[in-house]
Amino acid sequence: MVKRSLLYLCTFLMVFVAACSSNNGTPSESQPPGSGGSAAPEEEQVTITWWDFQPNEAMIESLQTLIDAYEKEHPNVKIERTFVPFADIKNKLLIGSAAGQLPDIVMIDGPDHQAFAASGVLEDITDKVEAWGEADMYFEAPWNATMYEGRNYGVPVSNNNLGLFYNADMFEAAELQPPTTWDELLETAKALSSSEVYGIGIAATKSEQLTFQYLPFLWQSGSDVTDIGSQGTVDSLALYKELIDSGAMSLDVLNQDQQATFLQFMAGKLAMVISGPWQLPALEEADFNWGLVHLPEGKEKATILGGDNWAIASTSEHKDIAWDIIMFSQQQEYLEPLLVGGARIPSRKDLIEEEYWQEDEYMKIFASQHEWAKARAYGPDYPKISEAIQEMIQRTITGVSTPEEAASEAAAKIAPFLP
């Protein structure tokens, strides 16, 4: 098992470097699970280290409120929060693991969770979760993202998914309605394209963001990563290729991440853009009318699950306290402000019934998609799988490979890495 863990860790590190270059124990018996009961003797002073990558001011304020509240109830516990940029968190965790310098609590990006669990970086908290008894309060997809080989290694924090934003003024002028199918998407994007405007923007820079934006189309086609050589994959790639070849989408998307394409939309250069709820605050400043709809459907409807999870490092000397803090963080009075402040979707079924997600014109659209959002839970070798998917799409868009060739090539590359 040790050899296997070291193998996964080394493999994951190599994949990460290559990409850069081109939670045991039970809650305190004196308090019910989730109440925030102290897991350490009152006279023992304990410092808990915590890493997260939340740069949003409203979310940081909510996290600090949570920390202050826990420390007030547990004066023997001091929580030291450290902000680690999202782009650096994986490398910092891998280096910290090798040096034996990991935090007690860490925020993990959903698609990376299984890889870190397999590498031995994260603590198996299955017994703690079972004693807690609240696992069934979470949606299946975000919960699955914290699982590896039937064991639990974390608790979801927040989620997002992708929808289709559109420039309502452009649609009104062209007397068009937002697309609901692939055919309508292609037709509408072509109709709204001109010398100054592209019909749609779908981020395609060679990174996880490309995979994140593409996988909904793969799933809508009836295909999946486990069957990526199928006709459905070919159809989804053909859609991308037609958008490019028809002039409805710029080849520049190869160099644009999600924020870059969204800024093009904000500047009136795109009639449609695929993005998530985190963009809603920025749209309050838009100088045009806009709308939001579900992603257009192929053979079936699908969107992708994004989000992050809490986890406990396997090297933590204070696992019981760290787990108590994570349970404390899932109370509505602390979790809801965090999610609202970041325009995020709850991972918990009970919380998603609150007013913000059921009555807000736009958040309720993202919230309704949560039931069919899928997680990137493809095992510890997902980073290599994602890289092959990125290459498949870019080779198709640039014409290096036909959709059929690209799908076949990707299938051969991905097969050894499937669980």
Superfamily of domain 163-304+381-417: Periplasmic binding protein-like II (3.40.190.10)
What pTM was estimated for this model as a whole? 0.87
Spans of all domains in the chain: 2-160+306-374, 163-304+381-417
Give the residue among 218, 179, 6 at the shortest CA–CA distance from 94: 6
Fold of 2-160+306-374: D-Maltodextrin-Binding Protein; domain 2 (3.40.190)
Give the residue among 206, 203, 207 at the shortest CA–CA distance from 217: 203
Residue 44's CB: how many other CB atoms inside 10 A?
11
User: Tens-digit pLDDT profile for the chain (419 aa)?
Assistant: 433 444 444 444 444 433 333 333 333 333 333 444 445 555 689 999 999 999 889 999 999 999 999 999 999 999 999 999 998 999 999 898 888 899 999 999 999 999 999 999 999 999 999 999 999 999 999 999 999 999 999 999 999 999 999 999 999 999 999 999 999 999 999 999 999 999 999 999 999 999 999 999 999 999 999 999 999 999 999 999 999 999 999 999 999 999 999 999 999 999 999 999 999 999 999 999 999 999 999 999 999 999 999 999 999 999 999 999 999 999 999 999 999 999 999 999 999 999 999 999 999 999 999 889 999 999 999 999 999 999 999 999 999 999 999 999 999 999 999 98
Distance in angstroms between the alpha carbons of the first and the last residue of the chain: 17
- CA 99 to chain CA centroid, Å, is 28
Identical fold at 2-160+306-374 and 163-304+381-417?
Answer: yes
Token look-up 């929808």 returns 163
* Tokens describing residue 391: 């290459």
* Tokens describing residue 194: 């001109």
Instruction: Give the list of residues 6+ apart from residue 160 with CB closer than 8 angstroms, or none.
Output: 276, 277, 278, 305, 306, 307, 344, 345, 366
Give the residue among 40, 46, 35 at the shortest CA–CA distance from 25: 40
Instruction: Give the list of residues 6+ apart from residue 173 with CB closer than 8 angstroms, or none.
Output: none
Residue 417's CB: how many other CB atoms inside 10 A?
20
Q: How many CA atoms lie within 13 A of 410 on its CB side?
A: 31
